[in-house]
Amino acid sequence: MSVRVRRVYDPPEPDDGVRVLVDRLWPRGVSKDAARVDEWPKGMTPSTELRRWYHAGEGSYEEFARRYEAELATPEAAELLSHVRDLAGAGPVTLLTAAKEPDRSHAAVLVRLLG
């Protein structure tokens, strides 16, 4: 199973496979054509409340990851996560995010859960 994370601002690469945007909001300054997003499962992204809490600097990354994993346990999010896991079982999947530090973002949590 091959799942990797890239910034949505980076140009698509031939080995990206299925490109999945994992941000709730469309990234600023990127056209839909340039992003080449194949899937956008908004129900699998962190809630607005959790995203705002984390970006306000009110908690640690570890606490954010714990709260996000709890959100991913809801039926809708779990179904979407399972779908992306199935995609990854069939070929490469690239999770796209606008996060400046993808390794300390929700995308890293997703990679860990998908792996």
CA separation for the pair 110, 81 (Å, rounded): 8
- Nearest of 64, 110, 60 to residue 85 by alpha carbon: 110
**pLDDT value of residue 58:** 82
Summarize pLDDT for 13-28 with one digit per residue, the tens.
Answer: 999 999 999 999 999 9
CA separation for the pair 20, 93 (Å, rounded): 7
**pLDDT value of residue 67:** 97
**pLDDT value of residue 79:** 97
- DSSP secondary structure string for all residues of 11-67: PP-GGG-EEEE--SSPPTT--HHHHT-SB--GGGSPPHHHHHHHHTT-S-HHHHHHH
pLDDT for residue 1 is more than 80: no
Summarize pLDDT for 70-94 with one digit per residue, the tens.
Answer: 999 999 999 999 999 999 999 999 9
Summarize pLDDT for 43-68 with one digit per residue, the tens.
Answer: 999 999 999 999 898 889 999 999 99
**pLDDT value of residue 44:** 97
pTM of the model: 0.94
